[in-house]
Amino acid sequence: MLQHPMVTFWTSLFYCLLLAAADTGREYSGEEARQQEADRVKNLPGQPPVKFRHYAGYVKLRPQEEKALFYWFFEAQEAPSQKPLVLWLNGGPGCSSIGYGAASELGPFLVKDKHGLKLNMFSWNRVANIIFLESPVGVGFSYTNNSKDLHELGDRVSASDNYAFLIGWFKRFPSFRSHEFYIAGESYAGHYVPQLADVIYEGNKATQQGSYINFKGFMIGNAVINDLTDVNGLIDYAWSHAIISDKVYNGIAKNCDFEKENQTKACAVHVGALLGAYKDIDIYNIYSPICLDDSKRRVSTKLVVAPHLLTQHDLWHTLPSGYDPCTEDYVSKYFNNQDVQKALHANITKLPYPYTPCSSVIQKWNDSADTVLPIIQKLLNAGLRIWIYSGDTDGRVPVTSTRYSINKMGLKVKKEWRAWFHKHQVAGWVEVYEGGLTFATIRGAGHQVPVFAPQQSLSLFTHFLSSHSLPSSRF
């Protein structure tokens, strides 16, 4: 159990036992149990046969509001009562953890075409119970009946709403309240995950019955965590991987000062040239092919939150989006199928817009922290387990950005940089820092690591949950 300065061991133990006692018999009785069973998914179109249970539905956040977040929960494939519980969040902001995380990356069912699903042999629910959450409202099937809510979204609202969701979800699934709980995510979840972790950490100090979460740590991948180093790393990565010329690279170095909000025209010209270098390839994996069907090729519909220097360029918003735009079409078609929605208990309010992997109705993000490094440091000091990973072929939040950001924290190295292995091959490299932070790379993977390296990502996830070191030899 995580110890907090104001909570003694015996007080924490008392509340842990109290919560466990409160769980007894609740899984099979009461209104919450009936709602749990109502959320069970039984006839999902195209689903391969499986033995584990999964649930989907809405959790209303607060009685006085009109907000409800949509989730899809998969029990672990074996012995779910003995496995940890993990919340997965995708980024954007405004992109779906179901359309991407569950259906395209690490869930047990991956969309193979507009009609069907295929079994993911390397699903993360092989080792954990996993909740995929569509957040904030306006993403996927999550909704609000007050349109004003869509104009008030930002980092703070998301953290607060995600916490309210968890409190409500644990009431519906009380038997999981005593499980070790972790959060994982990628991209802009580099904001979502630490910020939610901080809210949980502060909320746990009260240790109120029914709200204590057995929170142990988090893992974030190719994560936006510090604006200045993110931008510097993006530029250095593009140059070091032969995407931009010496002229463009030196022009940026000479004319740009990223610590300033407003840049010179010369800087803007060279940054525009950098972005232009990505227009014919996928910035999210510089070595992957893109969809060549012009009728299907999709440009980014994401609400992109990044330093103003990048977002002021129209070209930034028209870069090829995601791993495979053709596959994204299949995801959209599958989740717009009314039979699928019925099976998932989704779209109960009949939203006036179609399902899209990234929201088309969120137009504004009101607050985005320049850095979350202080939060990460705070939670390291609190004893949480924190792993950061990076697929090393991602140009959007590249490994250079993450390394620069971690270096900014000034942590002392505990275990030096070394290769780690999977199936006798180098899977990436890893370094461990004093205080509990682990940084790992995944060789040959892009922004969405589980898409490109499913076996390696499952190994990484498994070692994170067990707090075991990544394999240091081929055999």
Q: How far is CA 50 from CA 78, 102, 131, in A?
A: 11, 16, 17
Non-local CB neighbours of 440 within 8 Å, separated by 6+ positions: 387, 388, 389, 390, 420, 428, 429, 430, 431, 460, 470
| Cα 200 from Cα 163, distance rounded (Å) | 7
Token pair for 129: 């119970």
CA-wise closest residue to 185 among 95, 59, 121? 95
351-397 residue pLDDT tens:
999 999 888 888 888 888 999 999 999 999 999 999 999 999 999 99
Token pair 């890893």 is found at 430
How many Cβ atoms are within 10 Å of 422's Cβ, its own excluded? 20
SS3 360: coil
Residue 429 DSSP class = E
pLDDT at residue 10, rounded to an integer: 31
Give the span between the Cα atoms of 142 and 346, in whole angstroms. Answer: 9
Question: Do strands 437-442 and 385-391 pair parallel, antiparallel, or not at all (unpaired)?
Answer: parallel
Instruction: Return the active site residues.
Output: 187, 394, 447
CA 447 to chain centre: 11
Domain ranges of the chain: 9-221, 227-327
Largest separation between any pair of C-alpha atoms in the chain? 69
Task: Report the sign of the C-alpha dihedral through residues 335, 157, 305, 317, in that order.
Answer: positive
Spatial CB neighbours of 49, under 8 Å, sequence gap ≥ 6 = none
287-311 pLDDT, tens digit each: 988 766 544 444 444 444 444 555 5
| Residue 88 Cα distances to 63, 131, 366, 394, angstroms | 25, 6, 23, 20
Topology classification of domain 9-221: Rossmann fold (3.40.50)
E strand or H helix at 109, and its extent? strand 109-111
Token pair for residue 254? 């000479």
Residue-wise pLDDT tens for the chain (475 aa)?
Answer: 333 333 333 333 333 333 333 333 334 457 777 889 999 999 999 999 999 999 999 999 999 889 999 999 999 999 999 999 999 999 888 899 999 999 999 999 999 876 689 999 999 999 999 999 999 999 999 999 988 999 999 999 999 999 999 999 999 999 999 999 999 999 999 999 999 999 999 999 886 656 899 999 999 999 999 999 999 999 999 999 999 999 999 999 999 988 887 788 899 899 989 988 988 888 889 998 876 654 444 444 444 444 455 555 444 445 444 444 466 778 889 999 999 999 999 999 999 999 998 888 888 888 889 999 999 999 999 999 999 999 999 999 999 999 999 999 999 999 999 999 999 999 999 999 998 999 999 999 999 999 999 999 999 999 999 999 999 998 8
